[in-house]
Structure 1
Amino acid sequence: MKLQELFKKLPIDEKYNFDINKITTNTNEIEKGSLFIAIKGTAVDTHNRKYIDEAYKKGARAFITEEEVRIPSDAVQFVVSDTRKTVGLIASTFYGHPSQSLKIIGITGTKGKTSCTFILKSMLEKLGKKCGIIGTSGAFFGSEHIELKNTTPDPITLQSLLRKAVDMGLEYILMEVSSQAMKQWRVMGTKFLITAFTNISPDHIGPTEHKDFDEYLSWKRKFLMLSKKVIMNSDDEHFVEMTAPMKNKIITVGETGKDFTMTNVSENSFELNGRSIETNLMGKYNMHNLALSIATLNEVGFRMDDLVTATSNIFIPGRMEIIEKKERKFVIDYAHNKLSLLNLLAEIKSWNPERIIVVVGTVGERTFERRHEIPEAINQYGNEAIFTADNPNHEDPEKIASEMASHSLIPTKVIADRKNAIETAYRDSNPGDVIVVAGKGDETHQLINGERVHYSDREIIEKL
């Protein structure tokens, strides 16, 4: 692609109209013919002379920056007000505006995003539609699974994935969109058919994320306003606050929903506008996820009769995933904050197990409030807690686990090695007990000192 094609409204001297075969914000990825976009990050500012020189030496001859930087005369520079906003727009153009050829359903919320995307995928496939997922568990396109570093990938990766989806003949993309993704403008250049909101509670608040809950809520709202129509869980306590400034059409679903009203909600069934819905999913929170998904697809254009028949045999990897071992139940779940853990443990408590043993940790270097909130949730329903590692990164996992243990009011152990923690829980258990392994779900790595090290809760449990 010629540089002029990326900047159609800006005349470019022919001597600078280079062939661009790659766009990147990472100097490690630069090759001849790359367009380099400098970013002012929280840890690194690639406007720094070191990175500009490195980019040039590796073959970049076109630069996008937020300030004038010194470059050789055989290179060209474009100065913009915000390079983060620019990346997505440039990437979308570079990959041929793929979102315009897809029907993208965007889901946001503190919890339930992943569950909703897999529910939607299951239902759409039963309805004969080709679809893919982009989210916490990675990208799922057909039989291909692509691991991702973030719930919502960086804009260049995102646009390349959407291009791949178009080339594979997919029609629908079900995408989780995080508040951090919005704050960093990762979805700029992406067109959404419809957006949906699950719920919101205080989370992702800290020096490297959101300064307070108001900012967190604000970025969630900004995402929901990207589509003409939004599906909202009206039962959420922040519903009025969330929707008050919104100008797009709001469709409500929930026990208080006016457009889609839930009644007779049980652990695996409910009625939606008078229609009986039964499913293999468990837990009232999953009934709300399913109702939101049904409402979303109905608003997209699917008949309610067809949707009701598509609600059976839904599998959500790493969410309420049960593995039985010698009269004990292991439950693998991604629950990693107070509210999601409370919902999960309340559901398990309703099974009347002999005891509930919880193995859980929390991430290093951020969301520090979870270190007391997670133990507080376990105190309400658990009989034993084992605090362990969960993506500690550069922080000492034993220190994190010990901080969590200091807030526990039930029998507690600190075992930083997660494999050892699961094995200990199994040895401590008796027939009739439920061992909850929470926080990672179907993740296949631990983040340790900046490196993604292979690890899977499921693999550890299956080998016991």
Structure 2
Amino acid sequence: MRTKRLSAILGNEMDDIERDPWVTGIETDSRKVSPGNLFICIRGYTVDGHEFAEDAVSKGAVAVISEYPLDLEVPNLVVADTKRTAGVVASTFYDHPSHRMRIYGVTGTNGKTTTATLTYDLFRLSGRPVGIVSTIGARYKDQTLNTPNTTPEAVVLHRLLAEMADAGVTDCVVEVSSHAMMEGRVEGVRFHAAAFTNLTHDHLDYHRSMDEYARAKARLFEQVETTDGDAIILNAEDSASDTMAAFAPTRRRIMYSIHADVPADIQVIWNDQTVVIKMNALTIEAPVRFMGAFNAANLAAAIGLVSTSELMLRSIIANVPGLTLPKGRLERLDTEDAEIYLDYAHTPDGLEKCLSTLQQGERELVVVLSAAGDRDPTKRAEMGRIASHYSNDLIVTVHDVRTEEPKRIIDGLLAGIDANTHYVTFEERRDALRHAAQQALDGKRIVVVGKGHDHVERVGRESIPFNESDILLDELKKLKGQEPAV
């Protein structure tokens, strides 16, 4: 792309007609710039890309987009918001990949990753060339790629979508966080359809109120509306669906529920080892390999998304028995020695759904409860209350402390715990896991919440490898007098 064409797209006039270099790539990280790149200055949480513009030019950047004029030796295009501009530029540069395949967005407080994965697998098992971009990474065909955020920044996202479209992918599922909507990470993406899971307490350290949080989610549905998408899929049992619908007033609406007495276009009712699916006057019971009514809701949303493609309903439902949950979502540890589950639950609602499911059965339930540092402290006491209600014993600890004192995090959780609940506390998460392993060998059912699939601990500004599955398996072996895995 020529720089002057880029300037025209952005509505900027270039006075210097002599300087019109070819742009051969786009970067927002000056460390990754190579000759011929366009550098976009993004203001991040800890650094401001404007401070690295000269460094980018020294590495070969041929043009720079910024939010104020910079004294550079290359064309400098000034825009009001570089984060949102990045999506528009990237979509154009990569030949509008979201127009070359159908994009399905998934948003909500809890269940986004599970819903996105179930949608991906319904397509995959139907033989469709499908892709996914989610918290646990990006996948398409035989490619698996790590992504730094639930929703990557706009340039990375459009680059991924372009790779998928060029590889023949026809349908792609994208998990969309509220942060992504507010920061323009999906700017320039055309959404064929979008699904809403639920809205519960989370991220109030970022959003000032639940209403603001809801509106941030709703911007995804506004994007379905403005990009002429086909449909929106909404939870009939969550009142926030009204907010989502208001942002896409002319789009086809598909409602889903998990209770027979809640009218909806799709009903998925969980019966322990099967689900009853009702849709379009069709009722089918199918075996499932997952637990929990809340996962029936995630399946209903996924069916709603896939139903907006040309796949036949019976062929969609035929693949339900082959579905499994993504890593770290009610994932049972692979050992016969103990019953231990890992779950990503990090919100009050997500925690309650997880624990109410695992509480069933004869074994005592022990919960390894934690919260992250430098993140919404207002939900900690409520999480403590919920864990106290459902568990027989609590192991209270921390994860991803970042710059916060572990004791402060633990005290926030303890503030909601019932006075009669027995608990122990550990400021080191590894110590908490060691204690949990011993409890598991004593015949108790253990659930470790908070991290799920995540394999790093964030301490200060560092990310330290921390694989909970491996740690727990090693601790079980040590406690049994066996040699741990290397």
CA distance in 2, matches of 1:314, 1:262: 14
Q: How much has 1:338 moved relative to structure 2? A: 0.7
Instruction: Name the structure 1 match of 2:330.
Output: 320
When residues 194 and 15 of structure 1 are mapped into structure 2, their CA distance, relative to the original with a 3 A threshold, is same
- Counterpart pick for 2:235 among 233, 236, 239: 233
- Counterpart pick for 2:40 among 20, 37, 40: 37
Q: What secondary structure sits across from 1:353 in the alignment?
A: coil
Q: What secondary structure sits across from 2:223 in the alignment?
A: coil
Q: Choose 38-47 or 175-184, whichever is displaced more.
A: 38-47
Residue 400 (1) aligns with residue 406 (2): no
Aligned amino acid, residue 155 of structure 1: A
Q: How much has 1:460 moved relative to structure 2? A: 1.8
Instruction: Name the structure 2 match of 1:276.
Output: 284
CA distance in 1, matches of 2:292, 2:273: 5
Alignment of 1:86-235 (within 5 A): 86-206=85-205, 209-227=206-224, 228=229, 229-235=231-237
CA distance in 2, matches of 1:163, 1:245: 28
Instruction: Name the structure 1 match of 2:393.
Output: 384
TM-score normalised over the length of structure 2:
0.88
Contact kept? 1:405, 1:412, Cα under 8 Å = no
CA distance in 2, matches of 1:44, 1:430: 47
Aligned amino acid, residue 7 of structure 2: F
Q: How much has 1:53 moved relative to structure 2? A: 3.2
> What per-residue deviation string (whole Å, max 9, x for no partner) do you get for residues 375-427 of structure 1?
11101101111122322222233432343234323222222322221121121
Aligned amino acid, residue 59 of structure 2: K
Aligned amino acid, residue 349 of structure 2: L
Q: How much has 1:142 moved relative to structure 2? A: 3.1
CA distance in 2, matches of 1:435, 1:263: 27
CA distance in 1, matches of 2:458, 2:283: 45
Aligned amino acid, residue 424 of structure 1: H
CA distance in 1, matches of 2:455, 2:448: 14
Q: How much has 1:298 moved relative to structure 2? A: 1.6
Q: How much has 1:326 moved relative to structure 2? A: 5.5
CA distance in 2, matches of 1:107, 1:210: 19
CA distance in 1, matches of 2:409, 2:49: 32
Aligned amino acid, residue 265 of structure 2: D
TM-score normalised over the length of structure 1:
0.92
CA distance in 2, matches of 1:353, 1:133: 38
Q: What secondary structure sits across from 1:16 in the alignment?
A: coil
Residue 354 (1) aligns with residue 354 (2): no
Aligned amino acid, residue 412 of structure 2: E
CA distance in 1, matches of 2:462, 2:93: 30
- Counterpart pick for 1:344 among 347, 350, 354: 354
Instruction: Name the structure 2 match of 1:7.
Output: 7
> What per-residue deviation string (whole Å, max 9, x for no partner) do you get for residues 214-251 of structure 1?
11100111112222310111111323344245312221
Aligned amino acid, residue 237 of structure 1: S
Contact kept? 2:369, 2:387, Cα under 8 Å = no
Aligned amino acid, residue 348 of structure 1: L
Q: What secondary structure sits across from 1:277 in the alignment?
A: strand
- Counterpart pick for 1:456 among 456, 462, 467: 467
Q: How much has 1:59 moved relative to structure 2? A: 3.1
Aligned amino acid, residue 258 of structure 1: A
Instruction: Name the structure 1 match of 2:428.
Output: 417
CA distance in 1, matches of 2:385, 2:212: 25
Contact kept? 1:65, 1:77, Cα under 8 Å = yes
Instruction: Name the structure 1 match of 2:484.
Output: none
Q: Report percent identity of matched pairs.
A: 28
Instruction: Name the structure 2 match of 1:260.
Output: 266
Aligned amino acid, residue 295 of structure 1: G
Contact kept? 2:87, 2:188, Cα under 8 Å = yes
Aligned amino acid, residue 58 of structure 1: K
Unaligned runs of 5+ in 2: 477-486
CA distance in 2, matches of 1:417, 1:327: 24
> What per-residue deviation string (whole Å, max 9, x for no partner) do you get for residues 242-288 of structure 1?
42453122211114243224457656422313512321221101111
Q: What secondary structure sits across from 1:300 in the alignment?
A: coil
Q: What secondary structure sits across from 2:321 in the alignment?
A: coil
Q: How much has 1:339 moved relative to structure 2? A: 0.4
Q: What secondary structure sits across from 2:304 in the alignment?
A: helix
Aligned amino acid, residue 416 of structure 1: E
Unaligned runs of 5+ in 1: none
Instruction: Name the structure 2 match of 1:25.
Output: 28
CA distance in 2, matches of 1:190, 1:271: 32
Contact kept? 2:268, 2:299, Cα under 8 Å = no
Instruction: Name the structure 2 match of 1:294.
Output: 303
